Structures are given as structure tokens and as C-alpha cells.
Amino acid sequence: MTSIPYIPAYATAETYLNRSYRIRSWLLTVDHKRIGILFMISITLFFVVGGAAATLIRLHLLSPAGTLVRVETYNRLFTLHGVIMVWFFLIPSIPTVLGNFLLPIMVGARDVAFPKLNLASWYLFIIGGSFTILAMIFGGTDTGWTFYTPYSSQFANGHVILVITGIFVVGFSSILTGINFIVTVHQMRAPGLTWFRLPLFVWAIYATSVVQVLATPVLAITLALVGIERIWRVGIFDPAVGGDPVLFQHMFWFYSHPAVYIMILPAFGVESELIAAFSRKRPFGYGFIAMSSVAIAIIGFLVWAHHMFVSGISIYAGLVFSLLSMIVAVPSAIKVFNWIATLYKGSIALKTPMLYALGFIGLFVIGGLTGVMLATLGLDMHVHDTYFVIAHFHYIMVGGAVMAYMGGIHYWWPKMTGRSYSDFWGRIAAITIFLGFNLTFFPQFVMGYLGMPRRYAMYPPEFAVYNILSSAGASILAAGYLLPLIYLTLSLKYGERVGNNPWGAVGLEWETSSPPPVHNFHKPPVVTDEAYAYHKLKFTPES
């Protein structure tokens, strides 16, 4: 690890990319790197669909009476946007793309523990996605992504069952990926790679996998029960047939709050890698960052009812869940403080991935602090179910998870493809996304505190200014997302070829060639040092 020899990737005999060009070699691959690429292409398509729905929503809300679609269509659009973005983009994004590609390399393994199961995860994802796309083609449904009963089980229009089936199936993809990663981290680490030598990305993915495996079955059960009630009118959630609608909310959020951590924990992992690489420093308080991921994974299971403070739960339940939600904010705060401390006396290079990483901190902090406001009982009873909540979770999900995903893609793109992209356009896109994002979602905080409820197809005229600002921001944001799609695609053909370690970063993935060979390493690695031994970094004249 002390020196980084330069091996021109294109000069080596075989990489995972040029091994075979046949379509069959991709669709039947068991190579974790190829599966990662398959996921990347699939979730990008879903992101485009979910983003198109968001664009239509923002266009529609340009005027108080609604400009574009009928109310029925609007309700189906926000449902589609939520379902696609949550289950078909955010939850799979970092684990299945970056996790699949990098986790085995980072632990020095040839592949994940169960390569065929890994491919099965992708097929389940595609099958689940097909159900959802099919439902969309038939006209979608209007339940909202939360499927609140008894609306979803008795009153909703459209293809609820089809959408639920899609999510049910994709849940198994999530579970299988989680199992695969847990076993890989436990069993496949290279000689000398102890737990506390693992990169923080691995810690984060590991914690995420545990949550995926434990929480996702609850979602499957809950959605199955909704389906049973909808088809056979068995009284489970609908009080008209003897059920309890609040029971649904408990079950749904028992999955869906941990699901928030399935989305953001991997982003924390990426963030730690980016901050370390572009400060050329060991992350400040490595142990604290690693353990805070584990703490979030555990405490994250105990806060679900903070989604239900106005759902008629008892005052005592409200107090307990408010306190636990406050506690879960602490490990997130630990991470932010440590990332910023890592910058101190670093060697900071403001390359594209680092811009995303620094933007992430700003947006995540705003998302986190407004989350604390929502966990405050006395405030939640005012801002619950308003645009304040919408703004809050978009700061976490888009400002946090998507920014980290974009940063991670830009950081590891040279490793995945063996080519570099235009850093100039990369930085332009990162700044555009940051500004567009803030213009889209910051006005929603103000609008939310004023009381504008979520899921309104029409709204009173006093909210028009905020909605127009938000829609203007959304158009900038959309342009920001289109740019990487263009220059990253162009880089596949025109990008300069890169060496093993174009960023001068430390980590097992930077010791192998770019793109990596089929079995990841030319000779099996032996780890003799901690994950971030930047102080031992020596530069050979390379680039």
C-alpha cells in the first residue's frame, strides 16, 4: 500500500468490461461489477420516469387552480413519483450500484458471497419494476406512496394491487442484496482486513444491509394485508369492516422509517469516502463515524411513530417517540462534526465529487435540523402533513442521498469505466444542482409553515409566489441532472483513459486497474494497514 504502481488499464489483457460484448454475457453475468452496472442503468431509467412525474407536478402547481392536468391525474402523478423514487431509485441506488461494484473490491474479495443470488436480486428488481411500470401504463393509482388505509384498501382508484405487487417483489430484491452484503463483509474480507480497518463505506453498507433484512419483511406483510383487505374485504385496517387504520400506520412506518436510513446511511458512507479522498486525510474520529452508523441502524427501528403524532396516538406514546427521535439525531450530528473536522489541515481539492460532498453537508444539515423540528411534538402538530415536511425529506433524500450518489458516481466513474469525464462540466452540473435544489425546496419550508398541505392539486392564491419559485427551481434542477447524463455518456467514448489511481486516493479499489479485471485483483490483496493511511501516501510520476 505504500506505493501505487502504474498499470495502464487498457494495456492489460482483460477487464470486466471487455471480457465479452455479447448481450448474454451481461444478462447472465454473476460478476458483481456487471450487476452493479445493470442496476445503474435500471435505476437511472426509473429516476428519469420519477423525475418526469416531478416535473409535471411542479408545472401543474405553477398556478393556484392547477395548469396542466386533472385532479385525478395529479394524484396519480405524485403517487407514481413517490413509489418510483423511494423503491426504484433511492433504496436501491447506492447499495446496488456503488455497493455492488465496490464492496467486494473494498474487502479484497473476488466477488460477493452469493454471486447468483446477486443476479437474482437484479431480476427481482426488474420484475417488481415491470409490475409498477405496467400499473403506470394502465393508469396508475392514487393512494400516495404511503398507501394509507382505509383509502388504499377500499376507496382508491386505479391499480393498487399491481403497484403493491411491484413493491412486494422489489422488497425481496432488497432483502437478498442485504443478505449478500452481510455475508460478504463477515466472510470474504482479505487477510489482515480487520473490522476496524474497513473503509467507512463498508461500515455504512453493512449497517444498511442489516436494516434492509430486518425491516423489509414487515413492508411485505403490510402490503399483503392491504391487498387482502382490498380484494376480499377482510377487516384488517378498515373500521367499516372491523379493522384499525392506525394499525396500518404502525406497520407501514415500522418499515418506512428504517427505510429512510436505508436511503441515507449509504450516503453517509459515500460522504466519508469523498471527504477523506479529497482532503487526503484519515476521517477524523473514524471509530465514531463507524459506530454512529450502527447506532443509527439500531435506534432507527425505535422512532417510527413520529410519523403519527397527529394520528391519535396517546400522549405518552407521543412523548416516548419524540424523545427517541431526538436521540437518533445525535449520531447524525457526530458524523457531520467529524466530516468538517476532517477538512481541518487537509489537502482539499474542489473536484466534482468534492463539490457534491460539501453540498451534501450543507443540505443534509438543513434537512436534519428541520427533522428535529418535526420531532418536536409541539411544532409537529402545526407543520405535520404540510410542505414543511415535503421540504424536510427532500433535503434529506435529494440533498442528502442523491447528492451523495452523484458524488460517488463521479468519484468512482474512472474506476468503473477506465475513463475520465470533463471536470469542468462536472463542477458546473454540481453547482447547478445545488442552486436549483435550494430554489426548489427552500420556499417550501416557508409555504409549509404558512400551512399549505401536501398532496393538493389546487391551492389558495396566497401560496402562489412560493409555488412559482419552487417550480422555477425545479427547472434549474432538471437541467442540472441532465448535464451528467450527457457528459458521463460522452466520456465512455471520448473520455481520457485513466490509471489505477487518478485521484491520488487510498483504498483497495485504487490499487487495482481501472476498470478492474474480472476477478478484481491481479493477485489477492493482503492488508497490512488501516483503511486511510494517507500519511504513507507516496506519489510516483503518473499523471
Site for another protein in 83-142 (CB under 8 A): 142
Q: Which of residues 261-320 bind another protein (CB under 8 A)?
A: 279-282, 284-288, 309-312, 315, 318-319
Dihedral pair phi/psi, residue 453, rounded to 5°: -75, 155
- Which C-beta is closer to another protein: that of 216 or that of 500? 500
- Which C-beta is closer to another protein: that of 345 or that of 523? 345
Q: Which of residues 218-257 bind another protein (CB under 8 A)?
A: 238-240, 242, 244-246
Packed helices 352-375 and 403-417: angle between N→C axes, nearest 10 degrees: 150
Task: Tell me the C-alpha distance between 388 and 453, whole Å.
Answer: 9
Instruction: Tell me the closest approach of the beta carbon of residue 341 to another protein, in angstroms.
Output: 7
- Grid cell in block for residue 119: 443476479
Instruction: Tell me the closest approach of the beta carbon of residue 19 to another protein, in angstroms.
Output: 33
Instruction: Tell me the closest approach of the beta carbon of residue 223 to another protein, in angstroms.
Output: 18
Q: Which of residues 372-391 bind another protein (CB under 8 A)?
A: 372-373, 375-382, 384-386
Task: Tell me the C-alpha distance between 253 and 215, whole Å.
Answer: 10
Dihedral pair phi/psi, residue 497, rounded to 5°: -75, 145
Task: Tell me the C-alpha distance between 198 and 194, whole Å.
Answer: 7
- Which C-beta is closer to another protein: that of 75 or that of 216? 75
**DSSP conformation letters of 152-181:** IIII--B-HHHHHHHHHHHHHHHHHHHHHH
- Which C-beta is closer to another protein: that of 12 or that of 376? 376
Helix (H, G, I), strand (E, B) or coil at 500: coil
Q: Which of 7, 62, 341, 518 binds another protein (CB under 8 A)?
A: 341
- Grid cell in block for residue 345: 489541515
The owner of cell 432538471 is: 478
- Which C-beta is closer to another protein: that of 36 or that of 443? 443
Instruction: Tell me the closest approach of the beta carbon of residue 33 to another protein, in angstroms.
Output: 28
Q: Which of residues 189-218 bind another protein (CB under 8 A)?
A: none
- Grid cell in block for residue 397: 433524500
Q: Which of residues 12-71 bind another protein (CB under 8 A)?
A: 71
Is the separation of the CB atoms in 31 and 518 below 8 Å? yes
Task: Tell me the C-alpha distance between 36 and 449, whole Å.
Answer: 41
Q: Which of 59, 72, 127, 435 binds another protein (CB under 8 A)?
A: 72
Instruction: Tell me the closest approach of the beta carbon of residue 234 to another protein, in angstroms.
Output: 16
Q: Determine, following the binding rule CB under 8 A, whether residue 329 of this chain makes contact with another protein.
A: yes
Instruction: Tell me the closest approach of the beta carbon of residue 393 to another protein, in angstroms.
Output: 15
The owner of cell 473494498 is: 106
- Grid cell in block for residue 452: 399549505
Q: Which of residues 435-474 bind another protein (CB under 8 A)?
A: 446, 449-451, 453-462, 465
The owner of cell 425505535 is: 302
Stretch that binds another protein, among 19-27, 122-130, 328-336, 394-402 (CB under 8 A): 328-336
Instruction: Tell me the closest approach of the beta carbon of residue 78 to another protein, in angstroms.
Output: 9
Packed helices 71-83 and 32-60: angle between N→C axes, nearest 10 degrees: 150
- Which C-beta is closer to another protein: that of 2 or that of 24? 2
Q: Which of 123, 138, 155, 195 binds another protein (CB under 8 A)?
A: 155
Q: Which of 15, 42, 75, 501 binds another protein (CB under 8 A)?
A: 75
Task: Tell me the C-alpha distance between 135 and 158, whole Å.
Answer: 8
Please say whether the dihedral angle defined by the alpha carbons of residues 349, 104, 486 and 46, taken in this order, is positive or negative: negative
**Residue count, binding to another protein (CB under 8 A):** 96
235 DSSP 8-state letter: S
